Structure 1
Amino acid sequence: MSLKLKITLGVTVGLMLILFISFTFAYYMFIRVTTKGEADLLKEKARSLLLKDLPNHPEYWKDNSQMEELLIPQEMLRYIGPDSKVIYQIFSDETLIRYPVTYVNKDTITVETASDGIYVFVKMPVFKEGHQIATLEIGRSLRRLGQYADMLISVLLLTSTGTLILALIGGYFYTNVLFRPLQDFVGTMQNIEQSGSFRHINLPAKATNDELVILGATFNRMIDRLQDMFQKQEQFVADASHELRTPLTIIESYASLLRRWAFHDEKLREEALEAIISESAQLKQLTQNLLSLTDRDNCEQEVAFDLLPLARQTAASLRITSGREIKVQLASDWQELLMMGDSYKIKQLLIILLDNALKYSQQKIVMYIDLTDDNWVILKVIDQGIGIAESEIPHLFDRFYRSDKARNRKQGGVGLGLAIALHIVQKHKGTIELQSRLGEGTTVIVKLPVNCQ
């Protein structure tokens, strides 16, 4: 069963229940209010008769003319003794006297429903010298009310049937209109599945708050992201293939050279072995970098560590290996700066940023550390090197991207450093930003939360 048909039937069944409850309540209130009104009239009439002092005036019953003038059509008067026997009675509707005679000692109202109508009986005790001696009963046939009730039931049934038919027809056409965008969604998705190409769902030109329009807009944004990721994946595969092919080609060439000529030429043999070792190391580094980019766990190795000695040790190690001046500058005189995260990854991040600064500048490098009032660690790596063109900054975090003027294979690396740095920062739920101008240097700004949870 389709969702459209389920909704149509569900709405119809719900409407049927609402109509049944509403019409039942309306019918019940109609009968209740009408019979209560009739009963109140009969009670008033009974009180009027009791004022005639019926126990001391039995002639009223013997001379029916005095009592019959109080009767209306479809009515009955009975005077009942303590033994539940009728002493006197007059009536204008024989159907009323078929109902049982009962002797009561308090005001009683009884409503009887039969196939030929509704009957109301009012009984009131008759007293003489403070003692009850009889019961006065007045009954009335509400046959006309029964007819009205039957007519009301017919009208309600006819109205319910018409309403349900209209609900079915209207619901079917309305769900057609309502589900048309969903049908477009399904058609577009099936088209994407069959063709393998990315497509957008057509949306109305005027933006609305309609949930289906919002769903369509969300779907289109998802398609855009998938298309972008797919294109990046294709570019990544192409770039990775290129980066892998270069060292493999060199290794293969020198291996062939070794096999043909280098066994008898020591100098050639040393050159070939050096090239093979160098390209193997490059290949190993590339593989490690690619594996780093596939790590998707957020704060997997989260521990508390002191950032200050980690930064100082990293700067000292690179200062020794490079022979360059690297200064760690603190915004305040802290003794320690504790934060939560993966200390190994943070160290890798610092190495990447400092290594880049060392490659593309010859002046002093400054690592600036600050802590904001809302517990964010600010790391800045500042160099005075060749800088980066403003148009190239948005692409620097792309995998395998190198600036034509600065990032090239001769200086080492494969264009994955900043991509890995971005990945580490995102794992720690932080941000990274580059500020640079050609010929003036580059500043990398990293913001990391003290607690990455």
Structure 2
Amino acid sequence: MSIKWRVSLISIGTIAGITLLFTMFIYFSLSKWMMEQQDHSALTSALHIALAYPGNIEQGSHNSNEKSQSWLSQFDTKNQTFYIIGLDGKTVASLGNTFGVLPHSLALTRTQKGALAHVNVRGHAFVRIILPSHAESGKTVAWVISYASTDVVQAYIAALVRVLIFGSLLALVLAGLSGYVMSFVALRPITDIIRRMRHMDAFSIKGRLPHDSGRDEIAELSKTFNEMLDRIRKTIEKQNEFIADASHEFRSPLTVIEGYINLLDRWGKDDPAVTERSIGAIKKEAARLRRLTNGLLQLASLANVQLESMPCDAKRVIEEVVLQFSEVFQRNIAFEHPDEAVMTEMQSEHLHQVTAIFLQNAVKHTLEGQEIAVRISRRKGGLLMIVEDKGEGIDQEHLPHLFDRFYRSDRARSRSTEGFGLGLAIAKEIVGLYQGEIRVVSEKGVGTAFSVTIPDR
């Protein structure tokens, strides 16, 4: 179901619930008020007659009925009938006969426990009131039976019900139409966004969604979607660059291997010198391919690595790496550290690899006798490691690209061709696993300093 229909149904359901509650409130409150007003009016008239009867009738006189009719006429009310019943059961007086003779007897006064009741007589609704008429001595001298018709009130209530039902249905129809129209107008920008998205190029992602400077949800959606497209575009560009660089790196050793194999196949099989030289070159290029493949596999595996909280002594791990590089490369590498242990939550193998990458980079950039130093300390709840060399330095234009995969520059990286430009990229991925940060400061002809910060988790 589309959002427009859902909004319409929600509008109808909401208005239906509100209308039902409002209709019930109007019906019950008005009907109760009208019936109460009718009951009060009928009760007041009957009470006046019951109070006035003893003073206007001389009991036992021969003209009592005439007196009754003369004073009783002032209480004549439309749609209301009165009967005055004597204690002997005879009708002393009556007033009003719109509905014909209605039930009235002395026995009726004895069987009714309440003074007011709603009754139906010959298809008409009445409020029946039975009240005693007392003399000044407090003695009951007669009974007043009053019938007040409620047909008009019931007709008003019935008309009210019809109006409320019709109004409720009309409100529901208008709510549905207005909900559909409002949802159509409100969702029209989203429909336009969907249309534009369907016509976008899935590969180049050149299109962008229009958005104004407003702060509504539609403008925010368009802005966020465009930002996502920019990130996807950059990712695709980096992926294409990675594929091109990886293909280039693989093509060079494969071309060398293929060339030496063809050389052996043509005439080198009978020449021991050519065979030996070819086998050596093939072994060297195969080793390069192995190192390149291992680097790529490691970059891929870092995306899914599961970190374990295993604190290690950074001073001990880094000291081992410094000692290894000092012995292997015959370099004097200074190691500055606190006297106490420097603990970090970085796994020891990751710390070992990051340190080795930066030291290897420093060795490549320096000549024998040039200074290389490693310093560690605890700063702001984390580990700070600085690897600094006094080598050739890096041009400022290359600094933003140092951690890109396969990035190599003769001026910025190494004079040799053994590297693939993956070391610093791997170091950045490892440090990123621990929400760490790498900063580099370099000046051409002065040296380079890499600082690594590993926060405590």
TM-score (norm 2): 0.83
CA deviations on 1:70-102 (whole Å, 9 max, x unpaired) are 2311123456899x9999764454289469957
In the alignment, the residues of structure 2 paired with residue 442 and residue 112 of structure 1 have an alpha-carbon distance, to the nearest angstrom, of 106
Does residue 368 (structure 1) correspond to residue 412 (structure 2)? The answer is no
**Is the Cα contact below 8 Å between 1:299 and 1:342 reproduced in 2?**
no
CA deviations on 1:153-191 (whole Å, 9 max, x unpaired) are 344344334433333333332222122122122222322
SS across alignment from 2:439: strand
Q: CA RMSD in A?
A: 3.7
CA deviations on 1:259-282 (whole Å, 9 max, x unpaired) are 444445444444323322222111
Partner of 2:454: 448
**Is the Cα contact below 8 Å between 2:373 and 2:388 reproduced in 1?**
yes
Partner of 1:176: 184
Partner of 2:401: 395
Does residue 300 (structure 1) correspond to residue 311 (structure 2)? The answer is no
CA deviations on 1:56-78 (whole Å, 9 max, x unpaired) are 96858881333342231112345
Q: What is the aligned counterpart of 2:328 among 321, 334, 337?
A: 321
Partner of 2:285: 279
Query: Kindly tell me: are residues 231 and 68 of structure 1, through their superposed partners in 2, closer, same or farther at Cα, counting changes over 3 Å?
Result: same
In the alignment, the residues of structure 2 paired with residue 269 and residue 215 of structure 1 have an alpha-carbon distance, to the nearest angstrom, of 66
SS across alignment from 1:410: coil
Q: Which amino acid aligns with 1:176?
A: F
- Cα offset, 1:52, TM superposition: 4.1
Does residue 4 (structure 1) correspond to residue 4 (structure 2)? The answer is yes
**Is the Cα contact below 8 Å between 1:359 and 1:411 reproduced in 2?**
no
- Cα offset, 1:369, TM superposition: 1.9
In the alignment, the residues of structure 2 paired with residue 66 and residue 259 of structure 1 have an alpha-carbon distance, to the nearest angstrom, of 145
CA deviations on 1:128-171 (whole Å, 9 max, x unpaired) are 88899987554422444334334433443443344333333333
SS across alignment from 2:75: coil
Partner of 1:22: 22
In the alignment, the residues of structure 2 paired with residue 134 and residue 320 of structure 1 have an alpha-carbon distance, to the nearest angstrom, of 132
Give matches, 1:124-135, under 5 Å: none
- Cα offset, 1:333, TM superposition: 3.5
SS across alignment from 2:340: coil
Query: Alignment identity in percent?
Result: 29
Does residue 220 (structure 1) correspond to residue 215 (structure 2)? The answer is no
In the alignment, the residues of structure 2 paired with residue 378 and residue 294 of structure 1 have an alpha-carbon distance, to the nearest angstrom, of 27
Query: Kindly tell me: are residues 99 and 412 of structure 1, through their superposed partners in 2, closer, same or farther at Cα, counting changes over 3 Å?
Result: farther
Q: Which amino acid aligns with 2:19?
A: L
- Cα offset, 1:380, TM superposition: 1.9
**Is the Cα contact below 8 Å between 1:72 and 1:92 reproduced in 2?**
no
Query: Kindly tell me: are residues 435 and 87 of structure 1, through their superposed partners in 2, closer, same or farther at Cα, counting changes over 3 Å?
Result: farther
Partner of 2:418: 412
Q: What is the aligned counterpart of 1:156 among 139, 164, 167?
A: 164
Q: What is the aligned counterpart of 1:69 among 67, 74, 83?
A: 74
Query: Kindly tell me: are residues 431 and 52 of structure 1, through their superposed partners in 2, closer, same or farther at Cα, counting changes over 3 Å?
Result: same
Q: What is the aligned counterpart of 1:350 among 352, 355, 360?
A: 355
In the alignment, the residues of structure 2 paired with residue 385 and residue 371 of structure 1 have an alpha-carbon distance, to the nearest angstrom, of 27
- Cα offset, 1:293, TM superposition: 1.2
- Cα offset, 1:243, TM superposition: 0.2
CA deviations on 1:322-374 (whole Å, 9 max, x unpaired) are 111222323x432241x33432222211111111111112322222222233x
Give matches, 1:70-89, under 5 Å: 70-77=75-82
Query: Kindly tell me: are residues 88 and 180 of structure 1, through their superposed partners in 2, closer, same or farther at Cα, counting changes over 3 Å?
Result: same
- Cα offset, 1:424, TM superposition: 0.8
CA deviations on 1:92-119 (whole Å, 9 max, x unpaired) are 54289469957455665x4569998864
Task: Extract unaligned runs of 5+ from structure 2.
Answer: none
CA deviations on 1:386-439 (whole Å, 9 max, x unpaired) are 222222222111111113412257252101111111111121222222222222
Q: What is the aligned counterpart of 1:430 among 415, 436, 439?
A: 436
Q: Which amino acid aligns with 2:291?
A: Q
**Is the Cα contact below 8 Å between 2:386 and 2:451 reproduced in 1?**
yes
In the alignment, the residues of structure 2 paired with residue 418 and residue 78 of structure 1 have an alpha-carbon distance, to the nearest angstrom, of 112
- Cα offset, 1:15, TM superposition: 1.7
Q: What is the aligned counterpart of 2:252 among 223, 227, 246?
A: 246
Partner of 1:185: 193
Partner of 1:35: 35
Query: Kindly tell me: are residues 278 and 365 of structure 1, through their superposed partners in 2, closer, same or farther at Cα, counting changes over 3 Å?
Result: same
Q: Which amino acid aligns with 1:191?
A: H
Query: Kindly tell me: are residues 119 and 201 of structure 1, through their superposed partners in 2, closer, same or farther at Cα, counting changes over 3 Å?
Result: farther
Q: What is the aligned counterpart of 2:340 among 329, 334, 340?
A: 334
In the alignment, the residues of structure 1 paired with residue 432 and residue 85 of structure 2 have an alpha-carbon distance, to the nearest angstrom, of 97
Q: Which amino acid aligns with 2:229?
A: I
Task: Extract unaligned runs of 5+ from structure 1.
Answer: none
SS across alignment from 2:453: strand
TM-score (norm 1): 0.84
Query: Kindly tell me: are residues 89 and 424 of structure 1, through their superposed partners in 2, closer, same or farther at Cα, counting changes over 3 Å?
Result: farther
**Is the Cα contact below 8 Å between 1:27 and 1:152 reproduced in 2?**
yes
Partner of 2:364: 359
**Is the Cα contact below 8 Å between 1:401 and 1:415 reproduced in 2?**
yes
Q: What is the aligned counterpart of 1:377 among 378, 383, 407?
A: 383
Q: Which amino acid aligns with 2:296?
A: L
SS across alignment from 1:380: strand
SS across alignment from 1:294: helix
